[in-house]
Chains A and B, each alone.
Chain A
Amino acid sequence: MFSTSLLKNEEKAVFALRSIYQKYGYTPFKMSKFEEYDLYVRNKDFLVSDSVITFTGMNGKLLALKPDVTLSIVKNTKDIPDTVQKVYYNENVYRVSKNTHEFKEIMQTGLECIGNIDTYNIFEVIMLAAKSLEAISDSFVLDLSHIGIVSAVIDSIGCDREAGKALLNCIGEKNQSGIEKICAEKNISADACKKLVSLVGTYGKIEKVLPKLSAICDTDELKTALAQFESICSLLVASGLGEKINIDFSIATDMRYYNGVVFQGFVENVPTGVLSGGQYDNLMKKMGRKSGAIGFAVYLDTLERLNLTTKKYDVDTVLLYDESCLPEDIARAVNMLASDGKSVMAEKCIPESIKYRQLLKLNGKGVEILENND
């Protein structure tokens, strides 16, 4: 067997997450590397970046390297009444990096729960999101929001679409002064403005935030959304996750696709979110499906620099040999040195830019120590 210390953060996470998802009855979903481009054209806004790597397949169809996994999974599952399909995946996706403006391969793991989903299913997915974060780091936070509440608050104001979009942007930035400015420009009532500002300013632990929400949720639509949100939150608190979950309505997602609970996960010392997900019944409807769905993705590439330590040595031993050494003698020496778990690099001369713990030389008499850096 091998030592897990050899594994990189993202590789460790893949194994840990796989075992969590399997434990809760999720089955692996393996998909083709390519997808018909048409799928993405029809759902362009669902994608994080709208650029896609395309090429023509052997039958003349325009294909794409997957920029997203959820759409493919939804496409490949069927509506079966009263059942819920639970799948997880570990796939590479291809997206344009905001920083380099070039395509980047991103390893992504996640799960989808598709079908006639109920409160338990929603709770289970959020609980698995929290467990996923826990597997990555002890110090994590899962932010929870409800699109039903955010959209109903914006709808209740009765502003135009453009102002609604700008307000949603401000909610995503926790930008209270921005909200006040838009409200003043669009002659939105002071009461409605106050409601929006308090929605942005209301965040934190479940038990602290939930009681404050009833003051904001004053319409029937809002009350229904709040009741659902409360029942999910109480399940999460009862399962001991309350300490790690924050309610925060600033999670910015597209309301055309998401409808119910949405969430985003953070681990300490990673500057961006490492997990995001939510309930996307609206996407299902758009794709002509009757059932609902909820799922999330973990962005494994963000874990690369987590708890990064610099290795002191690249290799334990460099074993130098020359033309006079027999191959079987070199093999015997390498095997002997490697037998106690050390790494050995056999070379004819000292390799450049390699840091070694020990430098040995193989000669007719045996192994001679030339340098010891410990």
Chain B
Amino acid sequence: MKTMINVALPKGRLGEKVYAMFEKAGYECPSIKEVNRKLIFENEEAGVRYFWVKPSDVAIYVERGAADVGVAGKDILLEYAPDVYELLDLNLGKCRMAVAAKKDFRDNTENTLRVATKFPNIAKDYYSKKGRDIDIIKLNGSIEIAPILGLSDVIVDIVETGKTLLENDLEPKENIVPISARLIANKSSFKFKMEQIENIKNGLKAQVKTDD
């Protein structure tokens, strides 16, 4: 029997783009395109089994070995620091992690800076490198309203076009790190399914579009 590779794909637009790359690399699974609520799809012939999971959960599935490989955003990898291999930058889903604030905001270094974010570890790491004393306010969504309502001074969040910030009278102030989707692999799976995982990596690598 052919060894199956379990692939965790992030639900949503990015996941669909990533699946198209897998398909082009020879890992097609036609049933995935059927409109239904199924979450697991497999093609035994191609030796691949896909499942759709919440983007922020991909790294958990891979770290714990439920998936051999997966595609996760660099933001998730930086925030949760899962013990996985980061095999390839797919150069997809590009955006950046940035500090944003109200347009007229000026950092008063006399006070503790209040930072609202979904990414407390990234924020802590960034400000500790700068030696800035901060208070983290962990939110799960609608981060942009925190500075407007006076809940925080700044926010640390993903910025793609900056349109949401602009519409809420905010603007990016500092860039923290560029973000893109990465192919990750479970460390143990990599040892036992090395050839198959390398084939996937090479198949995807050939399709990665460079910036220039």
Chain A residues in the interface with B (C-beta under 8 A): 139, 141, 143, 173-178, 204, 246, 250, 266-273
In this complex, how many residues of chain B approach chain A with their Cβ under 8 Å: the count is: 17
A273's partner among B63, B187, B192 (CB-CB below 8 A) is B187
A270 and B188: CB pair below 8 A? yes
B86 and A173: CB pair below 8 A? yes
* A367→B88 CA distance, assembly (Å): 68
B83 and A272: CB pair below 8 A? yes
Please give, as numbers and ranges, the residues of chain B lying within 8 Å of A177 by CB-CB distance.
Answer: 88-89
Question: What residue of chain B has the Cβ atom nearest to residue A175's Cβ?
Answer: B86
A266's partner among B83, B88, B187 (CB-CB below 8 A) is B187
Inter-chain CB contacts under 8 Å: number? 44
Task: Please report which residues of chain B, range 186-208, place their CB below 8 angstroms from some CB of chain A when the two chains form the complex.
Answer: 186-189, 191-192, 194
B86 and A178: CB pair below 8 A? yes
Question: B18: CB under 8 A from chain A?
Answer: no
A168 CB to nearest chain B CB (Å): 14
A271 and B86: CB pair below 8 A? no
With A271-B63, A271-B65 known as contacts, the answer to whether A141 contacts B86 (CB < 8 A) is no
B87 and A174: CB pair below 8 A? yes
Question: B17: CB under 8 A from chain A?
Answer: no
* A177→B87 CA distance, assembly (Å): 8
B194 and A266: CB pair below 8 A? no
A266 and B86: CB pair below 8 A? no
* A224→B167 CA distance, assembly (Å): 62
Please give, as numbers and ranges, the residues of chain A lying within 8 Å of B83 by CB-CB distance.
Answer: 272
Question: What residue of chain B has the Cβ atom nearest to residue A265's Cβ?
Answer: B191
Please give, as numbers and ranges, the residues of chain A lying within 8 Å of B85 by CB-CB distance.
Answer: 173-175, 250
B191 and A141: CB pair below 8 A? yes
A272 and B188: CB pair below 8 A? yes
Please give, as numbers and ranges, the residues of chain B lying within 8 Å of A204 by CB-CB distance.
Answer: 194
B89 and A141: CB pair below 8 A? no
B71 CB to nearest chain A CB (Å): 14
* A40→B57 CA distance, assembly (Å): 35
* A268→B186 CA distance, assembly (Å): 12
Please give, as numbers and ranges, the residues of chain A lying within 8 Å of B64 by CB-CB distance.
Answer: 271
Please give, as numbers and ranges, the residues of chain A lying within 8 Å of B187 by CB-CB distance.
Answer: 266, 271-273
Question: B115: CB under 8 A from chain A?
Answer: no
With A174-B87, A250-B85 known as contacts, the answer to whether A141 contacts B192 (CB < 8 A) is yes
* A266→B84 CA distance, assembly (Å): 14
Question: What residue of chain A has the Cβ atom nearest to residue B208's Cβ?
Answer: A177
Identify the interface centre among B85, B86, B87, B88: most chain A CB within 10 Å of its CB.
B86
B18 CB to nearest chain A CB (Å): 16
B121 CB to nearest chain A CB (Å): 13
Task: Please report which residues of chain B, range 60-106, place their CB below 8 angstroms from some CB of chain A when the two chains form the complex.
Answer: 63-65, 83-89
With A173-B85, A177-B89 known as contacts, the answer to whether A268 contacts B192 (CB < 8 A) is yes
Please give, as numbers and ranges, the residues of chain A lying within 8 Å of B88 by CB-CB distance.
Answer: 176-177
B186 and A271: CB pair below 8 A? yes
A263 CB to nearest chain B CB (Å): 13
Please give, as numbers and ranges, the residues of chain A lying within 8 Å of B188 by CB-CB distance.
Answer: 266-268, 270-273
Beyond A178-B89, A268-B188, A268-B192, 9 additional pairs, beta carbon < 8 A: A175-B87, A176-B88, A177-B88, A204-B194, A250-B85, A270-B65, A270-B188, A272-B187, A273-B188
Q: List 7 A-B contacts (CB under 8 A).
A: A141-B192, A174-B85, A266-B187, A270-B188, A271-B63, A272-B65, A272-B188
With A177-B89, A272-B83 known as contacts, the answer to whether A266 contacts B192 (CB < 8 A) is yes
B86's partner among A139, A143, A174 (CB-CB below 8 A) is A174
* A250→B89 CA distance, assembly (Å): 18
* A230→B194 CA distance, assembly (Å): 23
Q: Which 9 A-B pairs have the closest CB atoms?
A: A271-B65, A177-B89, A141-B191, A175-B86, A173-B86, A174-B85, A266-B188, A266-B191, A268-B192
* A269→B65 CA distance, assembly (Å): 8
Identify the interface centre among B89, B188, B194: most chain A CB within 10 Å of its CB.
B188
